[in-house]
Amino acid sequence: MVANANKKSKEKVKPRGREMAWEREIRTDFRVREGQDGLIKGHVEGLVEARKRKRLRQDTEPFQRGIIRHVALVLDLSEAMLEKDMRPNRYLVTLKYTQEYIREFFEQNPISQMLILAMYDGICIKISDLSGNPSTHISALIALRNPRNPREVAKEPKGSPSLQNALEHARASLHHTPSHGTREVIIILGALLSLDPGDIFKTISACVADHLRVAIIGMAGRLRICQEICAKTNANDPSSYTVALDQTHFRELLLATTTPPVIRKPTAAAQAANPASLLLMGFPSRVIEDSPTLCACHGQLTRGGYTCSRCMAKVCSLPSTCPSCHLTLILSTHLARSYHHLFPLRNWVEVSWQRALKKGSVQCTGCLTAFPPVPADMRDSKGKGKVTNGNHESNGVNGAVRQEKVEGASESSRYECETCGEHFCIDCDLFCHEVVHNCPGCQSSVPEGDVVQGQNGAAGDGNRMDVD
C-alpha cells in the first residue's frame, strides 16, 4: 500500500531538475523484506538489478544522431564562478571537469570539432579555435590559469556574463561550418543574471534561423531566459536546459552532452535547406619508412605516417584533412564508434520461471555464470502463472515483492535475446548493451537456412534497424 503510494508520487515528479533535492520524498528503498525463502538476499538483488536495467532501457531506440558535430563550449568566467558551493570553487571545478569533458567528447565524437568561448566581464572571449584536436583545447584551458607568456596574468573570473554576446559569438564562429554537421552551443552558466547589450530575443531568433542548438547547464537556479533559449533552439523542447544540484551532478550533466544529439524528424523544407551529403573519405594505411621523409602537414622529417589514399601525401596523424588534395582522412575505427547508434542492440526481455524451465538454461551464454536453479515449487506447478502462491506464510508482502521485482528485473535472473533465444545474466545484459553493442548469441551462430551471405555483418544485429 505504502509502496504503491510512493511509487505514484515518484512518477509524477519524474522530470529531473524540476524538483529540488529537499522537495523529494524520503527514499524508502531501504525497506528490506523477506523473500519467499525467508532470506532478504533475493529481494535486495532484485532491487539492484532493477536499478541497473533502468539505466539501460533508455538508449535503444534507433534514433538518427548527429554524428558530425560542431560544438561551441561556452564557459562562465563571471564573478559568480568564485562561489564556493563547489569545492574548491566553481571556476576550478569547471576547469577540471571541462578537461575531462573534452577528452571524452573526442573519444565519443572523433570526427567532430569544438571551440571554447568564455563569458568574461560582460563580453565573450575566445579561448580556443575550432578544431578537432583535444590537446589544443586542453592546453588552452590550462593556459587560462598558467599563461605560457610570463607577462600575462592568470585569468580569474570577473564581472558579469552576457548570454547575448556569447550566443552571437558562437553563431559567428559556427557560421561557416558545413551544413551536414550539427551546430551546437553548450553553455555552462554559474551566474543568475545576463548583462546584455541589446535585445536577446533577436539573437535567439537569429540562432534558430542558423540551426543552432543550445544546451545550458546551470549551477545555481533555473532562469526563465535560459529555458526560453533552449526551447526555441530545440524545437520547443526545453529539456536541454539542466541545472546541477551539486558537483557530481554537474559532472554527469556535462558528460551527458558527449552523446551525439538526436536529429529531429526533418521537415521537407528543413531537408532542402540542410541536406545530408555524401562525403568522400580516405582510409589510409600506415607506412613505416627506413629513411625519414617530409610530411605534408608540418613539413617536418618523419619516419612513417599515413599516406593519403588519393594523392599519396604523407600526414602525421589521423583524423585529418589531406593538406594537398583536401580529402578527409580517417581511421575506420573512428567511424565504427558511432555504429551502435545506427544499429542499436535490441533490449533483452525478462525471463519468467516457466520460460527458463522450458529453455532449460543453466548458465549465461556470455560468461558461463550459473543461473539460480528453478525453485522446486515452480517445477510442480507448471502452467500456473503465479509464483507467489507456493508459499502462504507471508503472502501479502511477498506478493508485492515479486511484483515489484518483475517490473525491472527478471524473476529468474535471466534475460533473453529475442533474436537468438539465448539467456544472459544481468551483467552481460548491461555490458552488451552499453559497451559491445553485439549479442554474443546472435554473433555466434549462423541463422537457420542462411548460408554464406546470410551472416552479413549487419544481419546479426542490424537487420531490424529500419530507420525510415
Q: Identify the residue whose cell numbers are 593556459.
A: 143
Q: Could you say which of Zn ion, other proteins, none residue 32 binds, taking C-beta under 5 to 8 angstroms by partner kind?
A: none
**Rule CB under 8 A: which of 60-119 touch other proteins?**
64, 67-68, 100, 103-104, 107
What number of chain residues touch other proteins (CB under 8 A)?
A: 105
In the set 211, 249, 310, 355, which binds other proteins (CB under 8 A)?
310
By C-beta, is 103 or 232 nearer to other proteins?
103
Nearer to other proteins, 5 or 273 (CB): 273
* Least distance from other proteins to the Cβ atom of residue 378, Å: 9
Quick one: which of 213, 275, 263, 266 has its CA closest to 64? 263
By CB under 8 A, residue 269 contacts other proteins:
no
Report the chain's C-alpha Rg in angstroms.
27
Work out whether 428 is an interface residue with other proteins (CB under 8 A).
yes
* Interface of this chain with other proteins, residues 222 to 241, rule: CB under 8 A: none
Long-range CB pairs of 237-241, under 8 A, 24+ apart, other chains included: 239/15, 240/213, 240/214, 240/215, 240/216, 241/215, 241/216
262 lines the binding site for other proteins (CB under 8 A): no
Nearer Cβ to other proteins (109/164): 109
Check if the beta carbon of residue 362 is closer than 8 Å to that of residue 345. Answer: no
> Which of 158, 175 has the CB closer to other proteins?
175
Which partner in Zn ion, other proteins, none is near 357 (CB below 5 to 8 A by kind)? other proteins
Residue 316 binds which entry of Zn ion, other proteins, none, with Cβ cut-offs from 5 to 8 Å by kind?
Zn ion
365-394 exposure pattern, b = at least 16 Cβ within 10 A, e = fewer? bbeeeebeebbeebeeeeeeeebbebeeee
3-state secondary structure of 339: helix
Closest to 223 (Cα-Cα) out of 169, 157, 167, 163: 163
**Which of the residues 118 through 177 are near other proteins (CB under 8 A)?**
none
Q: How far is the CB of 125 from other proteins (least distance, A)?
A: 26
Strand partners, 186: 73, 215
Cβ–Cβ < 8 Å for 227, 238: yes
Does position 456 interact with other proteins (CB under 8 A)? The reply is yes
Contact in structure between 96 and 103 (CB atoms under 8 Å): no
User: How buried is 39 (Cβ within 10 angstroms: 0-12 exposed, 13-18 middle, 19+ buried)?
Assistant: exposed
Pick what 419 binds: other proteins, Zn ion, none; C-beta below 5 to 8 Å, kind-dependent: Zn ion
362 binds, options other proteins, Zn ion, none, Cβ within 5 to 8 A by partner type = other proteins
CA angle 249-252-257, nearest 5°? Answer: 135
Binding to other proteins by residue 193, rule CB under 8 A? no
Picked from other proteins, Zn ion, none, the partner binding residue 411 (CB below 5 to 8 A depending on kind) is none
> Could you say which of 35, 161, 190, 460 contacts other proteins (CB under 8 A)?
460
Looking at the DSSP assignment, which residues form a beta bridge with residue 294? 301
The listed partner (other proteins, Zn ion, none) that binds 363, CB under 5 to 8 Å by sort, is other proteins
Distance between CA 440 and CA 367 in Å, rounded? 10
Tell me: does residue 444 bind other proteins (CB under 8 A). Answer: yes
Comparing CB distances to other proteins, the nearer of 67 and 115 is 67
325 binds other proteins (CB under 8 A): yes
- Residue 297 contacts which entry, other proteins, Zn ion, none (Cβ below 5-8 A, type-dependent): Zn ion
Restricting to residues 379-418, which ones interact with other proteins according to CB under 8 A?
Answer: 379
Shortest reach from residue 419's CB to other proteins, in Å: 13
Axis crossing angle, helix 395-408 with helix 41-56, rounded to the nearest 10: 30
Lookup: cell for 465: 534497424
